[in-house]
Amino acid sequence: MDAIRIYGGKCLDGQTAIQGSKNASLPILAATLLIDGTCEIENCPDISDVYHMLRLLESLGCGVVREAALVRVNTRSFSGCDMPADSVGVMRSSVMLAGALLAKTGRICMKYPGGCVIGARPIDLHLRSLRLMGASIEESETGFCAEAARLKGAVLHLPFISVGATENLLLASVLADGVTVIEPAAREPEIRALCGFLQCAGARIEGAGTGRLVIHGVDRLRPVRYRVPADRIVAGTYLSACMCAGGRIFLKDAPADQMESVINCAERMGAAVSREADGILVTGRDHESVCDVVTTGCYPEFPTDMQSLFMAAMALSGRAGRIEETVFENRFRIVSELCKMGADITVQGNVAHVSPAGRLHGAIVRAQELRGGAALVAAALAADGTSIVTNRHYIDRGYEDIVLNLRALGADLELA
């Protein structure tokens, strides 16, 4: 029961609502550690990464209650015990707890975080910057221990942009002594959401959503209720599924303003996307493609998380395409699986060349990471015959009810 069986060939038609953002809710949940009392997080997606983050918070003694999409985290009973290694191991965002816990308790020991196997994913930027903020850090082969009585504000010049490091350092700096500058900071909407949560709690942050964050440390933060924004990557996933399978779907709450690069690319590849007040309307194949070229980059450029989904759409487009991955070095693991379905894709370094292959056919394929797994489901919707995507647990990390949602859109698929 760790697979999805898809009977391909049905166009999509209907409406689905977009869940809360995974990549916004994880650092926001970590940020609750900085606040004494109960925070209420609305629109928190019911996905396994959030489950693991909540388990980590519980293992630290926090009270955690989930009522549908509302999560309450009470930190009054925080005891700071060890975190379960299996949850730290499976999820990259557990590293976020380092900045928050160091700021809260002055000492943290943890194993190196896990996450999708899409590249080396070191945390050198995180640790180097925490050292500049006064932490003494000892590293071993499996993890690290950090100590700092109170972190000090510092000017942190990062050698390149990192979403996770920006978030971790934000969490480390909001209660630090003095002013911290993070530059270049990542500009992803999820960083803006984290800043929004922290600002509501009383943090003093300038430049949210820009490449330069200035954080004036404060003595304490207060409990807040905060709503997680809709997930732009999940919205992009259903958009891509519609590009693969064809049809017309409405994605309620899809944050079109955060999806410019994805929508532009989809339109260049032949989809029609209409921005409505409460979501987007997607017509999968509306006109001839003028260009099948994708280059990933930091926000606001095309997100690396959407790359495999657009590769699936390209493989089905009947034209040649090219994808350049500039963020992670190992994010083409889906290629061999798409080729099992009849795609013709070759990889040279960080560029994938997609040749016209006609129709795809059903196959048994293996999800090897979260977005790649979703991309295989999208490809299978359009393939002739039956496909089985194994390793569903990767997909469950980030998608709430993907099978039910696609079924509501007219697709024929089931858990297997």
Active site residues: 116
Residue-by-residue DSSP string for 365-393: EE--SHHHHHHHHHHHHHSBSEEEEE-HH
Query: Cis ω on the peptide bond leading into residue 184 (within 30° of 0)?
Result: yes
Q: Closer CB to ligand UD1, residue 126 or residue 366? A: 126
Q: Find the binding residues for ligand UD1 in span 315-334 (CB under 6 A).
A: 327-328
Per the CB < 8 A criterion, the answer to whether 247 and 14 are in contact is no
Is residue 21 near ligand UD1 by the rule CB under 6 A? no
| Closest to 197 (Cα-Cα) out of 67, 85, 33, 344 | 33
Choose the stretch contacting ligand UD1; rule: CB under 6 A; options: 36-44, 68-76, 115-123, 208-216. 115-123
93 binds ligand UD1 (CB under 6 A): yes
Q: Which two three-digit tokens encode residue 228?
A: 């997680």
What is the closest distance, in whole angstroms, from the C-beta atom of residue 124 to ligand UD1 in the complex? 5
- How far is it, in rounded angstroms, from Cα 266 to Cα 280? 13
Strand partners, 275: 280
* CB neighbour list of residue 128: distance below 8 Å, 6 or more residues apart: none
Cβ proximity to ligand UD1, 3 vs 53, nearer residue:
53
Q: Rule CB under 6 A: is residue 63 a binding residue for ligand UD1? A: no
Name the minimum Å distance from CB 180 to ligand UD1: 17
* Candidates 119-127, 203-211, 317-325, 406-414; binding stretch for ligand UD1 (CB under 6 A): 119-127
258 binds ligand UD1 (CB under 6 A): no
Yes or no: say if 269 and 317 are a contact pair by the CB < 8 Å rule: yes
The least distance separating ligand UD1 from the CB of residue 9, rounded to whole angstroms, comes to: 31
Could you say whether residue 120 binds ligand UD1 (CB under 6 A)?
yes
List, in sequence order, every beta strand (DSSP E) within 99-178.
107-111, 136-139, 143-147, 155-157
The answer to whether 78 and 61 have CB atoms below 8 angstroms apart is yes
**Window 160-189: residues binding ligand UD1 (CB under 6 A):** 162-165
Window of 38-46, 156-164, 252-260, 273-281 that interacts with ligand UD1 by CB under 6 A: 156-164
Nearer to ligand UD1 among residue 61 and residue 297 (C-beta): 297
Q: Which residue is nearest to ligand UD1 (CB)?
A: 164
Cα 38 to chain centroid, rounded: 25
**Residue 123 or residue 198: which is nearer to ligand UD1 going by CB?**
123
Nearer Cβ to ligand UD1 (173/304): 304
Residue 162, token pair as written in the block:
């990192």
Selected binder of ligand UD1 within 16, 304, 307, 391 (CB under 6 A) = 304
23: contact with ligand UD1 by CB under 6 A: yes
| Residue 298 vs 357, nearer CB to ligand UD1 | 298
Q: Which residue has 């995974």 as its token pair?
A: 22
Q: From the list 63, 80, 84, 119, which residue makes contact with ligand UD1 (rule: CB under 6 A)?
A: 119
The CA distance from 247 to 77, in Å, is 51
CB-CB contact of 401 with 68 (8 Å): no
Of 266, 302, 284, the closest CA to residue 381 belongs to 284
Where do contacts with ligand UD1 occur on this chain (CB under 6 A)?
A: 23, 26, 92-93, 119-126, 162-165, 190, 304-305, 327-328
